[in-house]
A and B are shown apart, each in its own frame.
Chain A
């Protein structure tokens, strides 16, 4: 049987079980559900909505930058637009993106469990997300926010825009994130199917484990920081504002103690997705399973010790800066282990050029550039030059969008048949990958050049010598949008008229492929038992046997 699990009743003869999508009907059955798959779908819809909102803000920003001076909006509105883009993309899209949507659906399936450990807390965490999102929308209504997503004091304690609703929104979203983290950690520790030892867990699960660790350990620090910021604005206490006797660098320390580790909350699940996609579509066991698994945890650990690299030019002592610089370089080691392992996995495999695999290629290319330019910024002397320029903007877009978002999209294509029971048009999917790849590079590679020539980030206007590059970048963002629209059309078309998906369209070995598409309400008709590693594809067994005899 082509799976790592064996049960009495395979997916084929379980026809009397209803799928999770149709087992119960009506809006109320969705809003009160404790089924991790339905909660994942609700998360998916919500984060895609906010991706759209943040994306529109980004397009407005890029269009405004088409020419120096005013094109569309005044500078005050521009400040609000880039803040809105950053805050929405970070807090409402990327942080919850892969873990809370894809992760929520696949984690219990991959572990062979019926649900996460605390289904009600899972639903509560979704509603915390909704409340946080409402507070962000309220911020826009109440006059916007112009601090940038980083809320740096003392500007954030003195500006007249609606800082309190936004920070309180981020505070509430933090609890959503913590609850998801606790839930996943306990689920992974306690709910694995019989036979699923730690070294048989899919790498997606390892990545979610490392992610959840960071969510639980870092998020409370930003929560208390934002509360203190609210107190400072309300009561005028002097903790961050130097005019009141506070220390603005303390805010930066608190902020980045969370916000740097949270960069790994964003990227680690992406690594997990890529590990799954690259083996399944290369038909070859993963290269360096343990190395990839442990490197996720290593990144989570070292990630806690590098926050100071955001303050190289903020009055940090040269000793501290040197140590933080060294530790920043250290993160590159486990990250490179992963990238090399994925490439080694493809070597000698029989690669299928599916849409998910296209996205893997896009990811490898873009993330490598993003990761390597991180080293430029981690080097002290170079950072002094590059700090707060478009080079930084390009770097984190290559990592966050070129890495996490591309992995998210690849993962969505990969698990789409599982979630919906429908196949999609491969040609359209591949077209989207190609357009996204071209558009992304045109948009952001240009910004590396802009930054290294001295274009500062967040500026409303610029010197004439930057004009051409800004034009190219803006045109790139339109191509990127076109690619994303093609992806959207692919999904809508699949929902309307997609072919019915089989239980296991990619011949994956992990347990989520071992139930129907879409899965039945309680995931498995019968408790699965894990008997092999997650990537022991049958064709590998045959070739190995052939070689031996």
Chain B
């Protein structure tokens, strides 16, 4: 019955008087590291989620290399894809800067960098919209909806299924990212984040980098093959 643990003696640990401290944790550090591990695990499952589609890509390319080459060369716009790659890479930089601004508690910088990140994400979606509408126009669509007049070898309707699945799922992730970033911007403007509490910024940053990374794979795999 001796030597009891002073569980409630942590009130003086850094961050434990923060309004964002959740009391089922012992310290703010424990809370932050739990959140971070949770986010990494979530990202692992995201990678596996996309992996099914990448497997689809590998098998399709193995079965119909000619379709892939032809469609990629003639119907995907390298310039637009390239612009989007640069835009997303740049948004990752501003995201990282926003996290840094959160760590040092600079409210003004957080808001600015988050705003730039959101603008980049919107530019990405606009470019994607132009690309998509072009394909809708030509009838370069998946499965039953395929009505493209040009003569593509192999199974072009499946190639466009692959294209829309991969970029569409990625696009949904970009939209989810924008929602998270808007929420962060609101909280940053309110002054929620500082040296002891910046986990939401950091976690959204991790997510945003993954979304970026997926595109870094998609761009060469779809646009740059030859």
Which chain A residues have a beta carbon within 8 Å of chain B's beta carbons?
A: 1, 6-8, 10, 113-115, 117-119, 121, 178, 181-183, 185-187, 189-191, 194, 216-221, 223-225, 228, 231-232, 235-239, 244-247, 250, 254, 522, 526-529
**Chain B residue with Cβ nearest A222:** B52
Asked if residues B50 and A224 are in contact (CB atoms below 8 Å), the reply is yes
B79 in contact (CB, < 8 A): no
- Interface flags for B27-50 (1: CB within 8 Å of A; 0: not) read 000100110011001101110111
Contacts A182-B38, A254-B55 given; does A216 touch B44 at CB 8 Å? yes
**Cα distance A118–B34 when bound, in Å?**
9
A228 in contact with B143 given A118-B38, A190-B34 (CB within 8 Å): no
Q: Hey, which bits of chain B sit against chain A, CB under 8 A?
A: 1-5, 7-8, 23-26, 30, 33-34, 37-38, 41-42, 44-46, 48-53, 55-56, 59-60, 63, 142-145, 155, 157-158, 161, 165
List chain B residues, Cβ under 8 A from A228. Answer: 52-53, 56, 165
Nearest chain B residue, comparing its CB with the CB of A193? B5
* Closest A residue, CB atoms, query B33: A190
In the complex, which residues of chain A have a beta carbon less than 8 angstroms from the beta carbon of B38? 117-118, 121, 182-183, 186
With known contacts A114-B24, A119-B24, A237-B157, A186–B143 Cβ distance under 8 A: no
A301 CA / B90 CA spacing, docked (Å): 38
Task: Give every chain B residue within 8 A of A254 (Cβ-Cβ).
Answer: 52, 55
Chain B interface, >50% SS class:
helix
Additional pairs, 18, CB under 8 Å, beyond known A220-B45, A231-B143: A8-B4, A115-B24, A178-B45, A182-B45, A185-B41, A189-B34, A189-B37, A225-B52, A228-B165, A232-B143, A235-B143, A235-B144, A238-B143, A238-B161, A247-B59, A250-B55, A526-B4, A529-B3
Partner of A217, one of B48, B55, B56, B63: B48
Contacts of B144 in A (CB 8 A): 235-236
CB of B37 within 8 A of CB of A186, answer yes
Question: Contact: B48 with A220, CB < 8 Å?
Answer: yes
- Enumerate 30 A-B pairs (CB-CB under 8 Å) in ascending A order: A1-B1, A6-B4, A7-B5, A8-B1, A113-B24, A117-B34, A121-B38, A186-B34, A186-B38, A186-B41, A187-B34, A191-B30, A217-B45, A217-B48, A220-B48, A220-B49, A220-B52, A223-B49, A225-B52, A235-B143, A235-B161, A236-B142, A237-B142, A237-B157, A239-B161, A245-B158, A247-B63, A254-B52, A529-B4, A529-B5
Contact status A235-B50, CB under 8 Å: no
Smallest CB gap from A235: residue in B? B143
Cross-chain contact A238 with B157 (CB below 8 angstroms): yes
Judging by beta carbons under 8 Å apart, are A239 and B4 in contact?
no
Complex Cα gap A223–B4 (Å): 47
Is B165 touching A238 in the complex (CB atoms < 8 A)?
Answer: no
Nearest first, the 9 A-B pairs at minimum CB distance are A527-B7, A224-B52, A237-B161, A236-B143, A236-B144, A220-B49, A235-B143, A220-B48, A114-B24
Contact A239:B56 (CB < 8 A) given known A114-B23, A190-B33, A216-B44:
yes
By a CB distance below 8 angstroms, the chain B residues around A114 are 23-24
- Among the interface residues A181, A220, A526, which one has the most CB atoms of the partner chain B within 10 A? A220
Complex CA–CA separation, A80 to B38 (angstroms) = 39
Question: Smallest Cβ distance from B216 to chain A, in angstroms?
Answer: 20
Q: CA of A254 to CA of B52 in the docked complex: distance in angstroms? A: 8
